[in-house]
């Protein structure tokens, strides 16, 4: 059976790389155009990217849901697929499965103040949400975006941050900044004081498991309730539809089906990982 | 891309296996690579000189003074060195067989003979593809990953895992000294599937736990000594290292 | 209910084969009973208690091909286009993925009630939305002939696990040994159709499932906290061989990987391989981080997946009490000590 006219969730559909952007030393953003199909996705969902001849890996969609013909994937060099993805050139054909997973709870966020915290490459999973919020700015309260990285060279989306700054309060902090760095210094947890204050705030976190745990801990200590905090988790999902059990986490949740976005009243801090 | 296939002290079984078992893939190999050195297939263009290559596949253990010289030349001229087979990755039979004997008397004219060592004792090795001999299938998979600029991977499971997958009766249950639980898998449990115990010809598994294994065989009433001597047969240096760790 | 001789039961297996089923039956060889393809003339082990493989191996076969695709474009982008004659010419615009779902019918002959319940569990996992198309195609056309056990061995605990009872749809024909004879009870249309071919006289009695005799009695109670707290007794002999998950009838974890061919590298197969939580790469993410590191963690993870996770995600327990993980463990690790309340060896 040809794959282009089926609903087999294992079989990828075709897409073409249309642009590759260098974000930082280790990070590139691949823009792919879907070939004769549309992806109806929401911020927070992920896709499985098949690089022909290399393999498949899950990536959170990093582009605005208003464009269903294109998907941006921001990829850091780490493993097999991610390294190979850095060799992709415009015109290369890839396979895309998805979108999969439970998105960010937009309906719960409407009208509320938002605190978005991303560290490292975790910001990629938040970009879709950030772009969505920028498009629908008037439907939400105050938005604070706190982005932490180690070195200035690690920062991604540098050119876009200015545009985002017009729509929300963007704070960038570096834990290993060079002397020339004029912005905030230290870890994201050092800068929570000014931004965590609101009763009705919703916090959205994405980053390495340890960092997410320490941020969650700080937020809870500052009086946010567990159901106000949402985390986006990373596991090596293989199938994306809850059949391979590779992304099970404590509590019996499948990250691919029930996540990757969880509120902290659903999962324990330990389930985030180390 | 340039590649070369070298042979140190060994039975040349690994390269022979590749030639016989790669089938149509062997021709594909010659289309994909510029193979400057593969003496079993054809006389190398540059004679015995070690050519500059991207990937060098080396079989055999380092035993003689010639081997020592050769392996450092190979390392210096190759971007990526793959140890092919258990001789190159662990030392294999030669490792234990060359210990405790008077090697001076074995010298051949000016060629000195030393205690056998795997390649990693002398040079840094980028990837080890174990097997006695290597499997052509695994070689192909590793090669394709290398072609894509990706490091190949070793099996992360033991022979015991594959043996249960094949649905064999456990040989420990019938009192045979089988090294399956600590042996590196990937062979498809070739020996246990025909009733012969595993001798761990690919070296220890990635997560081999010697003390757990010894407890397990004691439970089956198998004397430890028998298992330890079986371990010494093929896996050479790696088992010696594992034994040292186990005693700590 | 019908009453037949042993020869007739074997005849039933061949008849299922004639009806177009691929018949999977327990056969004994080299001291171990194994489910394998039955063909007329081969023997069936009707006295077996334990088999080393399970129906799962046929419903979710290791190395199943999910689809094939063309990888032409990428090979060129890696700078290899000159060398591969197959990738000359303009790049295609699609990866041309093609797949086929399995056809053909499978009959599981003389599996025990625990295995029938294992299929029920796999159904919950694989047929929940979105359904696995490969598994679904096999299950829709499968037939189950259940052979009851009279007595379990040292490792059986289907009575504490509650899996000696059969749900509707998980038994087409129920078979019980009664002395030299066998009692048959068709429980579905397909079962009736097959049993009618035996031309045996039907008796009025209805055959109901009966609990087998157990050598130990205990109750199963688990929660994540209890499993986390458990002592890791005996785990120091665990060699992480993963026999527990390989022989488990409900373990379904899998990995998906490419299979290439050097001769035609642009033609790639995508295969589903079995995976085990006892293996290192089970929880590895990019960069080599492991989420489940130690032996103790992996042992607990297996039990958590079987009990609390399965109850939460699928509404039923993932353990059917077949005892395979205990019987086939080279180290003799017994999970009943962790989850069984009042369990004594």
Q: C179-191 pLDDT, tens per residue?
A: 888 888 888 898 8
pLDDT band per the 50, 70, 90 thresholds, residue C209: confident
Q: Which chains touch B (3 or more CB pairs under 8 A)?
A: A, C
CB B158 within 8 A of CB B185: yes
Instruction: For residue C61, give every residue at least 6 positions away whose Cβ sits within 8 Å of its Cβ, in sequence order, or none.
Output: none
DSSP summary character for residue C315: S
CB B62 within 8 A of CB B11: no
Q: How far is A94 from chain C (nearest CA, A)?
A: 7
The answer on A220 and A122 residing in a single domain is yes
pLDDT band per the 50, 70, 90 thresholds, residue B84: very high
The answer on A225 and A137 residing in a single domain is yes
Q: B interface mutation test: which of A80, A87, A92 has the most B CBs within 10 A? A: A80
Final residue belonging to a domain, choices A100, A123, A158: A100
For residue A167 the two structure tokens come to 């729509």
- The mean pLDDT of B74-84, rounded to a whole number, is 92
DSSP H/E element including B74: helix B65-77
Residue among C32, C246, C281 minimizing CB distance to B161: C246
The answer on A176 and A72 residing in a single domain is no
The answer on A222 and A206 residing in a single domain is yes
The answer on A211 and A249 residing in a single domain is yes
Q: B interface mutation test: which of A83, A86, A92 has the most B CBs within 10 A? A: A83
| CB atoms inside a 10 Å sphere around CB C102 | 16
CB C302 within 8 A of CB C207: no
Query: Touching check for C72 and chain A: CB below 8 Å?
Result: yes
Distance CA C10, CA C184 (A): 13
Using a CB-CB cut-off of 8 Å, the residues of chain B touching A53 are: 144, 148
CB contact under 8 A, B144 and C262: yes
Using a CB-CB cut-off of 8 Å, the residues of chain A touching B149 are: 83-84, 87
DSSP H/E element including C185: strand C181-186
pLDDT band per the 50, 70, 90 thresholds, residue C77: very low
Residue among C31, C52, C262 minimizing CB distance to B29: C262
Residue reference for tokens 């939400």: A140
Closest Cα to residue C167, out of C109, C114, C240, C206? C114
CB contact under 8 A, B150 and A84: yes
Position C83 scores a pLDDT of 28
For residue B23 the two structure tokens come to 């089938």
Size of interface A-B (CB pairs under 8 A): 12
Give me the residues of B, 126-155, that contact C with CB < 8 A. 140-141, 143-144, 147-149
Final residue belonging to a domain, choices A100, A134, A155: A100
Using a CB-CB cut-off of 8 Å, the residues of chain C touching B170 are: 328, 330
CB contact under 8 A, C268 and A53: yes
Position C76 scores a pLDDT of 37
**Torsion angle defined by CA atoms of residues B227, B228, B230 and B233, in that order, rounded to the nearest 10 degrees:** 170
Domain count, chain C: 1
Q: How far is C162 from chain B (nearest CA, A)?
A: 27
Residue of A nearest to C300 (CA): A250
For residue C148 the two structure tokens come to 């009851």
Distance CA C144, CA A245 (A): 26
Position C56 scores a pLDDT of 92
Give me the residues of A, 36-95, that contact B with CB < 8 A. 53-54, 80, 83-84, 87
The answer on A119 and A64 residing in a single domain is no
Q: Which chains touch C (3 or more CB pairs under 8 A)?
A: A, B
CB contact under 8 A, B25 and C332: no
Using a CB-CB cut-off of 8 Å, the residues of chain B touching A87 are: 149
Query: Touching check for C216 and chain A: CB below 8 Å?
Result: no
Q: How far is A53 from chain B (nearest CA, A)?
A: 8
Residue of A nearest to C102 (CA): A1
Position C79 scores a pLDDT of 38
The answer on A141 and A221 residing in a single domain is yes
Q: How far is A79 from chain B (nearest CA, A)?
A: 9
Position C130 scores a pLDDT of 86
Size of interface B-C (CB pairs under 8 A): 108
Q: What is the mean pLDDT of chain C?
A: 84
Domain count, chain A: 2
CB contact under 8 A, C313 and A242: yes
The answer on A201 and A125 residing in a single domain is yes
Residue among C93, C252, C284 minimizing CB distance to A14: C93
CB contact under 8 A, C262 and B170: no
Using a CB-CB cut-off of 8 Å, the residues of chain B touching C24 are: none
Distance CA C82, CA C76 (A): 8
Residue of C nearest to A78 (CA): C287
Which residues form the domain of C64?
A: 2-341
CB contact under 8 A, A10 and C66: yes
Query: Touching check for B208 and chain C: CB below 8 Å?
Result: yes
CB C13 within 8 A of CB C26: no
CB C172 within 8 A of CB C143: yes
Using a CB-CB cut-off of 8 Å, the residues of chain B touching A84 are: 148-150
Using a CB-CB cut-off of 8 Å, the residues of chain A touching B145 are: 80
Using a CB-CB cut-off of 8 Å, the residues of chain A touching B32 are: none
Residue of B nearest to C32 (CA): B169
- The mean pLDDT of C262-277, rounded to a whole number, is 82
Using a CB-CB cut-off of 8 Å, the residues of chain A touching C128 are: 242
Position B76 scores a pLDDT of 93
Comparing A268 with B74, the larger pLDDT belongs to B74
Task: Compute CA C158 distance to the chain's CA centroid, rounded to the nearest angstrom.
Answer: 16
Residues of chain C with a CB closer than 8 angstroms to some CB in chain B: 30-32, 34, 52-53, 62, 78, 80, 83-85, 236-243, 246-247, 260-263, 265, 274, 276, 279-281, 295, 328, 330-332
Q: What is the mean pLDDT of chain B?
A: 87
Instruction: For residue C62, give every residue at least 6 positions away whose Cβ sits within 8 Å of its Cβ, in sequence order, or none.
Output: B165, C273, C274
Q: How far is A50 from chain C (nearest CA, A)?
A: 10
Final residue belonging to a domain, choices A100, A126, A151: A100
Q: How far is B212 from chain C (nearest CA, A)?
A: 4
Residue of C nearest to B33 (CA): C83
Which residues form the domain of A164?
A: 106-272
Which has the minimum average pLDDT: A127-136, B67-76, B112-121, C87-96?
C87-96
Q: B interface mutation test: which of C32, C241, C276 has the most B CBs within 10 A? A: C241
The answer on A37 and A160 residing in a single domain is no
- The mean pLDDT of C47-55, rounded to a whole number, is 91
pLDDT band per the 50, 70, 90 thresholds, residue B211: confident
- The mean pLDDT of C297-315, rounded to a whole number, is 90
Give me the residues of C, 297-326, that contact A with CB < 8 A. 304-305, 308-313
For residue C227 the two structure tokens come to 């499993």
| CB atoms inside a 10 Å sphere around CB A203 | 26
Q: Exposed/middle/buried for C260, CB within 10 Å: 0-12, 13-18, 19+? A: buried
Query: Touching check for B215 and chain C: CB below 8 Å?
Result: yes
The answer on A82 and A193 residing in a single domain is no
Q: How far is C27 from chain A (nearest CA, A)?
A: 30
CB A227 within 8 A of CB A261: no
Q: How far is B118 from chain A (nearest CA, A)?
A: 28
Residue of B nearest to A80 (CA): B150
* CATH value at residue A65: 2.40.30.10
Write the DSSP assignment of A126-147 as a string of letters: HHHHHHHHHHTGGGS--EEEEE
Using a CB-CB cut-off of 8 Å, the residues of chain B touching C31 are: 169, 174
Distance CA A230, CA A205 (A): 6
Comparing B74 with C224, the larger pLDDT belongs to B74
Position B82 scores a pLDDT of 93
For residue B1 the two structure tokens come to 């891309």
Position C92 scores a pLDDT of 57
Give pLDDT tens digits along chain A (274 positions). 554 456 788 888 888 888 899 988 889 999 998 888 888 899 999 999 988 777 888 999 999 999 988 999 999 988 778 888 888 888 788 889 989 999 999 999 998 889 999 998 899 999 999 999 999 999 988 899 999 999 888 888 988 888 898 888 889 998 888 888 888 888 888 888 888 877 788 999 998 888 889 999 888 888 888 888 999 988 888 888 888 888 888 888 898 989 799 999 898 888 777 7
The answer on A69 and A128 residing in a single domain is no
The answer on A161 and A37 residing in a single domain is no
Q: How far is B141 from chain A (nearest CA, A)?
A: 11
For residue A121 the two structure tokens come to 């490459």
Distance CA C26, CA A67 (A): 56
Domains in chain B and their CATH numbers? 2-147 (3.40.50.700), 159-247 (no CATH)
């Amino acid at each position: 059976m040809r794959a282009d006219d089926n609903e087999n969730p294992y079989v990828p559909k075709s897409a073409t790389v249309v642009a590759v952007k260098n974000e930082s030393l280790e990070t590139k953003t691949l823009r792919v155009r879907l070939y004769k199909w549309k992806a109806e996705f929401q911020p927070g969902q992920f896709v499985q990217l098949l690089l022909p001849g290399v393999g498949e890996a899950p990536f959170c969609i990093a582009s605005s849901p208003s464009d269903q013909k294109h998907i941006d994937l921001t990829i850091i060099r780490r493993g097999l697929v991610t390294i190979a993805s850095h060799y992709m050139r415009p015109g290369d054909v890839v396979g895309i499965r998805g979108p999969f997973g439970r998105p960010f709870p937009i309906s719960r966020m409407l009208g509320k103040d938002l605190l978005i915290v991303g560290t490292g490459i975790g910001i990629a999973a938040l970009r879709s949400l950030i772009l969505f919020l920028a498009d629908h700015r008037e439907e939400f309260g105050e938005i604070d975006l706190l982005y932490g990285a180690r070195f200035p060279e690690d920062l991604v989306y540098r050119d876009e941050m200015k545009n985002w700054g017009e729509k929300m309060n963007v704070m960038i902090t570096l834990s290993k900044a060079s002397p020339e760095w004029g912005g905030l210094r230290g870890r994201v947890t050092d800068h929570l004081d000014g931004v965590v204050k609101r009763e009705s705030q919703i916090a959205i976190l994405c980053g390495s498991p340890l960092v997410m745990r320490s941020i969650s801990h700080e937020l809870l200590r500052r009086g946010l309730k567990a159901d106000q905090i949402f985390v986006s988790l990373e596991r090596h999902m293989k199938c994306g539809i809850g059949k391979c059990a590779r992304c099970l986490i404590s509590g019996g949740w499948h990250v691919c089906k029930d996540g990757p976005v969880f509120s902290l009243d659903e999962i324990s801090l330990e389930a985030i990982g180390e | 891309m340039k590649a070369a296939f070298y042979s140190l002290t060994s039975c040349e079984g690994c390269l022979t296996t590749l030639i016989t078992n790669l089938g149509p893939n062997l021709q594909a190999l010659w289309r994909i690579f510029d193979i400057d050195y593969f003496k079993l297939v054809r006389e190398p263009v540059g004679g015995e000189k070690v050519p500059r290559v991207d990937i060098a596949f080396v079989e055999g253990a380092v035993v003689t003074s010639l081997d020592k010289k050769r392996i450092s030349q190979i390392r210096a001229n190759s971007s990526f060195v793959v140890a092919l087979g258990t001789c190159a990755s662990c030392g294999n039979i030669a490792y234990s067989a060359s210990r405790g004997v008077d090697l001076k008397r074995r010298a051949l004219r000016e060629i000195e003979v030393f205690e056998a060592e795997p390649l990693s004792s002398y040079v840094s090795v980028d990837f080890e593809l174990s097997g006695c001999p290597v499997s052509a299938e695994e070689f192909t998979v590793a090669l394709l990953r290398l072609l894509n600029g990706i490091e190949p991977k070793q099996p992360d499971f033991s022979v015991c895992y594959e043996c249960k997958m094949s649905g064999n009766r456990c040989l420990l249950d019938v009192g045979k000294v089988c090294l399956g639980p600590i042996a590196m898998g990937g062979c498809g449990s070739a020996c246990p599937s025909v009733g012969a115990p595993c001798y761990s010809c690919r070296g220890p598994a990635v997560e081999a736990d010697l003390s757990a294994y010894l407890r397990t065989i004691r439970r089956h009433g198998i004397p430890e000594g028998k298992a330890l001597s079986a371990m010494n047969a093929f896996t050479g240096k790696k088992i010696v290292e594992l034994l040292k760790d186990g005693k700590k | 209910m019908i009453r037949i001789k042993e020869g007739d039961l074997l005849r039933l297996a061949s008849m299922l084969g004639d009806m177009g089923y691929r018949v999977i039956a327990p056969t004994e060889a080299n001291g171990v009973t194994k489910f394998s393809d039955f063909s007329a003339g081969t023997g069936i082990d009707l006295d077996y208690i334990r088999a080393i493989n399970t129906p799962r191996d046929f419903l979710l076969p290791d190395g199943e091909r999910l689809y094939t695709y063309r990888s032409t474009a990428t090979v060129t982008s890696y700078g290899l286009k000159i060398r591969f004659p197959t990738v000359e010419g303009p790049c295609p615009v699609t990866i041309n993925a093609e797949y086929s779902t399995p056809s053909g019918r499978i009959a599981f002959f003389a599996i025990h009630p625990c295995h029938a319940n294992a299929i029920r569990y796999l159904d919950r996992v694989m047929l929940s939305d979105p359904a696995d198309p490969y598994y679904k195609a096999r299950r829709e056309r499968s037939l189950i002939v259940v052979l009851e056990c009279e007595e379990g061995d040292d490792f059986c605990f289907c009575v504490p696990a509650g899996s000696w009872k059969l749900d509707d749809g998980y038994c087409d024909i129920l078979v019980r040994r009664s002395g030299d004879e066998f009692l048959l009870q068709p429980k579905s249309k397909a079962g009736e159709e097959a049993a009618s071919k035996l031309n045996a006289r039907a008796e009025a009695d209805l055959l109901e499932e009966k609990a087998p005799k157990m050598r130990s009695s205990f109750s199963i109670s688990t929660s994540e906290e209890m499993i986390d707290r458990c002592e890791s007794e005996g785990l120091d002999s665990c060699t992480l061989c993963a026999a527990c998950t390989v022989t488990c009838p409900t373990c379904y974890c899998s990995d998906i990987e490419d299979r290439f061919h050097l001769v035609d590298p642009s033609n790639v197969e995508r295969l589903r391989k079995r995976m085990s939580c006892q293996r290192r790469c089970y929880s590895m993410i990019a960069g080599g981080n492991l989420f489940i590191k130690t032996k103790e963690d992996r042992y607990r993870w297996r039990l958590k997946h079987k009990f609390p996770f399965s109850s939460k995600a699928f509404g039923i327990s993932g353990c059917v009490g077949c005892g395979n993980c205990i019987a086939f463990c080279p180290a003799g690790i017994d999970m009943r000590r962790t989850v069984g309340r009042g369990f004594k060896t």
